[in-house]
Amino acid sequence: MMMNWQTTLGLLCLSCCFLVVTAFDYPNLGVPYLHTDDPVTPLPHGFPWGKKVTKRSNPNDPPLTGVIRRYNFTIARRKIAPDGYLKNSLVINGQFPGPLIEANWGDTIQVTVHNDIRDPEEGTAIHWHGFLQKGSPWMDGVPSISQCPIAPGASFTYSYIADSYGSSWYHSHYSGQYADGAIGPIVVHGPPTVSYDIDIGPVLITDYYHRNYTDITEAAFNSNFSIVAVPGVNSLINGRNNYNCSLKAANDPSPCQSDAGIAKFKFQRGKKHLLRIVNAGASALQTFSVDGHNLTVIANDFVPVVPYQTQYLKLGVGQRTDVIVETAANEQDNFFIRSQSPAKPCADTIQPNVSALAYFDDPNVVPQPNPWPAFTAAIQVCENFSRLPQGLLRLMQRLQEPLENTEPWYPLASPPTTATTYVLNMTLGQNASGSYLWYMNNSTFRGNYNHPILLLSNLGNNSYPDDPQWNVENFGTNTSIRMVVYNANPRTHPMHLHGHNYRVEAIGYNNETWDGTIVRPSNPQRRDTQLVPGWGYMVISFEADNPGAWPFHCHVAWHVAAGLYVTVVERPDLIAKYRIPSIMAQTCRDWWAYTKTDVVDQIDSGL
């Protein structure tokens, strides 16, 4: 095959220059807690969390260990090729995904973020997904809500309590930056729910695009509906997968290699392995399975659950599941860990499959594929999508585990009534210029980077709800909140609420209306991200015990970019009493100074 000089040079660069900033192998983690000598980890009763245990200890009451876990992150633009296709991306400390943050429950996590994004320059901010941020809502990392963006060339130090334990991730919350690579895993060790031998560590699953996030975002606002949804190209596990370069467009000059390699995990025979699965993608639902091995689910998001077994999982963007995978003592062969994002007709992922290798001795021995029949059936259910309405209904009902199956270890009951009930209708429509936008109660969100809502509320300024673009719902002094969310669109939405693990009280399908029934009201499922079915509904509730301005949004990057977002302002009377650190005002002054001389091209909602 003849190659032109551009392709030849590109392949040389691909092999000699850029692999240093592609995928990163996270090591197996220690059991059962993280130790340090500087400062010494306190071990009351033998553990950093003392006598607290999952079944009897309120998860909203973390210990305070006094230990500080410090990290330094530099976000920069680099060329990388995690699946063999060379593209510009955003990396953290020169790697994708970014460094692992590891702590014990009750530790303080401090991360200094340096914004070195250039060509072009952009602001940035990092969100610590799933952490409640009680008493520190300004550390939530959301520009236009909790802070001004970190200006180009500037730095900001986040400091917050590891107030939940389990598996999570961090990501940029500035426009669609995280779809370009600004993500990484978080592990917080806490009281174990079941015994295991080996902590395999994070298993980050991401859909992957060969176009930059700015191009995809601009397409999402197009008036031509046929190009609004840009197809994903590939999926990765811990930043690795092969890509079939023959699928690349003929006029695409980017260098590409089809043998970039897959992620590999070291297993041991006769052992129980903990896998921390995170859907850290931009858009795609993921179906996860391990060939020939059951998954024992022990946690969803940051909530430990009574263990149950399954052969596959469905994870929307932002959702996490901790599972135990047990191997037999006489097991010989390596096996595949696999995930698949939806293909046609449910979505347009070009290469929807991703596999990683679980190996015992030799990581170069490739096993025969042996997917569970249930996994194969689960990914084929999309074939029924076009047979409306029953085909769609069956699809929606199989997108997630029934609420009856997911019971938290520590019970927190739903109240018979809440102080207020808020009905939220999600719709897709066109604005005056014909661009497609997402709406919540007929308002589409657009953030103001220069004036964060939390900081305005702290100053007693509550006039911003008069502007529908801010899309603020002020719940005043209400002490508990129930939200009934209706989805008038066939697309499923992973809805994430900052500042809370909400109770998931009901899920409905087929344009039904909630009849007031709560699934297991004595102890409903809790999590911070839940899938709302297409043409369905979700009912959630939570105590208004965390004063702040909390985003509630779809975690599909292109949907929140197009306005599928509302800010929950909780207890503004108590927000006004916060003594917010002066660094927040200084960060805004730095941003204002930058924007006086540089025009910020806010191409979307800002989030």
How far apart are the C-alpha atoms of 124 and 216, rounded to whole Å?
18
Span of 140-154, 183-197, 399-413, 437-451 with lowest mean pLDDT: 399-413
How far apart are the C-alpha atoms of 145 and 137, rounded to whole Å?
10
Q: Does residue 18 carry a pLDDT above 60?
A: no
pLDDT at residue 526 in the model: 98
3-state secondary structure of 138: helix
Q: Helix, strand, coil: what percent of the chain each, to 5?
A: 15, 35, 50
pLDDT at residue 17 in the model: 40
How far apart are the C-alpha atoms of 152 and 124, rounded to whole Å?
8
- The model's pLDDT over 553-599, given as tens digits with 9 standing for 90+, comes to 999 999 999 999 999 999 999 999 999 999 999 999 999 999 999 98
Residues with Cβ within 8 Å of 431's Cβ and at least 6 positions away in sequence, in order, are 437, 444
How far apart are the C-alpha atoms of 115 and 155, rounded to whole Å?
6
How far apart are the C-alpha atoms of 545 and 87, rounded to whole Å?
44
Residue type, 30: G
Provide the residue count of the chain.
607
Mean pLDDT on 100-128? 98
Q: Is the dihedral of CA 407, 528, 355, 378 positive or negative?
A: positive
Residue type, 440: M
Q: What tokens appear for 543 in the block?
A: 């105590």
Asked if 475 and 483 count as a contact pair (C-beta separation under 8 A), the reply is no
Asked if 408 and 300 count as a contact pair (C-beta separation under 8 A), the reply is no
Average pLDDT value over all residues in the chain: 90
How far apart are the C-alpha atoms of 63 and 104, rounded to whole Å?
10
How far apart are the C-alpha atoms of 551 and 287, rounded to whole Å?
27
Q: Does residue 130 carry a pLDDT above 80?
A: yes
- The model's pLDDT over 219-250, given as tens digits with 9 standing for 90+, comes to 888 777 766 777 889 999 999 999 999 999 99
Residue type, 446: R
Q: What tokens appear for 552 in the block?
A: 């509630």
Q: Does residue 21 carry a pLDDT above 60?
A: no
41 pLDDT band, cuts 50/70/90, is confident
Residues with Cβ within 8 Å of 259's Cβ and at least 6 positions away in sequence, in order, are 84, 242
Q: Does residue 454 carry a pLDDT above 60?
A: yes
Pairing of strands 126-128, 108-115: unpaired
Report long-range pairs for 362-369 (Cβ below 8 Å, ≥24 apart).
362/334, 363/264, 363/266, 363/334, 365/333, 365/334, 366/334, 367/291, 367/333, 367/334, 367/335, 367/336, 368/333, 369/291, 369/336
CB half-sphere exposure, 218, CA atoms < 13 A: 6
Mean pLDDT on 4-19? 39
Q: Helix/strand/coil (H, E, C) string of 8-42?
A: HHHHHHHHHCCHHHCCCCCCCECCCCCCCECCECC
Fold of the CATH domain 410-597 = Immunoglobulin-like (2.60.40)
Mean pLDDT on 434-441? 93
Mean pLDDT on 112-124? 98
Asked if 568 and 497 count as a contact pair (C-beta separation under 8 A), the reply is yes
- Cα Rg of the chain (Å, integer): 23
> Comparing C-alpha atoms, which of 547, 509, 550, 543 is closest to residue 526?
543
Mean pLDDT on 20-25? 53
- The model's pLDDT over 152-198, given as tens digits with 9 standing for 90+, comes to 999 999 999 999 999 999 999 999 999 999 999 999 999 988 999 99
How far apart are the C-alpha atoms of 177 and 89, rounded to whole Å?
9
3-state secondary structure of 466: helix
The backbone torsions φ and ψ at residue 75, rounded to the nearest 5 degrees and listed phi first, read: -95, 125
Q: What percent of the chain has pLDDT over 90?
A: 76
pLDDT at residue 464 in the model: 67
Residue type, 268: Q
- The model's pLDDT over 485-521, given as tens digits with 9 standing for 90+, comes to 999 988 899 999 999 999 999 999 889 999 999 999 9
Residue with tokens 């990163």: 24
Q: Does residue 251 carry a pLDDT above 80?
A: yes
> Comparing C-alpha atoms, which of 76, 73, 71 is closest to residue 122?
76
Q: Does residue 13 carry a pLDDT above 50?
A: no
pLDDT at residue 398 in the model: 58
Asked if 426 and 494 count as a contact pair (C-beta separation under 8 A), the reply is no
* pTM of the entire predicted model: 0.94
Q: Does residue 22 carry a pLDDT above 80?
A: no
Mean pLDDT on 314-324? 97
pLDDT at residue 527 in the model: 98
Mean pLDDT on 418-443? 94
Span of 330-334, 463-467, 544-548 with lowest mean pLDDT: 463-467
Residue type, 570: E
Q: Does residue 64 carry a pLDDT above 50?
A: yes
Pairing of strands 183-189, 101-104: parallel
CB half-sphere exposure, 329, CA atoms < 13 A: 0
Residue type, 86: L
